[in-house]
Amino acid sequence: MKTIIGTLVVAFFLSISNSFAGDKLYKNVIEDKEKRTVTTTVCKGENDMNLVPLTECVLQYNADGSLKERISYKWESRKKVWVAYQKYMYEYDKGSLKAISYVEWNKSTKAWGNDIQYVMHVYESKTDLLTVASSSQK
């Protein structure tokens, strides 16, 4: 059984490495201080002239520099557009992280879904994390 699992794992990693054979991953980071955003785009290609977009992540910060929102996009090669697929929102209380909520993009309604996942951070004091609890809201 261990041999079969080991063989499957090795085959999986070889298939991944072969699918990117000759391709390198490139990352471009653009910071917009006025909008308080950092956009990271990842592309693949044989050289820096023939790049194919893969993913994009946009981080939005609050005025105090704390992370407010993270939206991830996938490249839709047929339509040549970025398509949102997940969003994380961060809430703070007196400088400490209070909650993280997560929602996925609904392709059919072309809006963020109604099934919001929450992770709450409960602190005993300003710096002592007491517990982390998760919940779902529909």
Please tell me the distance from the alpha carbon of residue 87 to that of residue 124, in angstroms, as a whole number. 28
% of the chain beyond a pLDDT of 90:
44
Domains and their CATH numbers in the chain: 23-137 (2.40.128.720)
Q: Cβ neighbours of residue 107 under 8 Å, at least 6 residues apart?
A: 83
Tell me which of 134 and 83 has the higher pLDDT: 83
- Tens digits of residue pLDDT in 18-56: 455 567 899 999 999 999 999 999 999 887 678 899 999
User: How far does Cα 71 stand from its chain's mean position?
Assistant: 6
Residue showing tokens 């209380």: 93
pLDDT at 112 over 80: yes
∠ CA 82-118-121, rounded to 5°: 125
Locus of tokens 């407010």: 68
Residue that wins the pLDDT comparison between 58 and 113? 58
Mean pLDDT score of the chain, rounded to an integer? 79
| Strand, helix or coil for residue 16 | helix
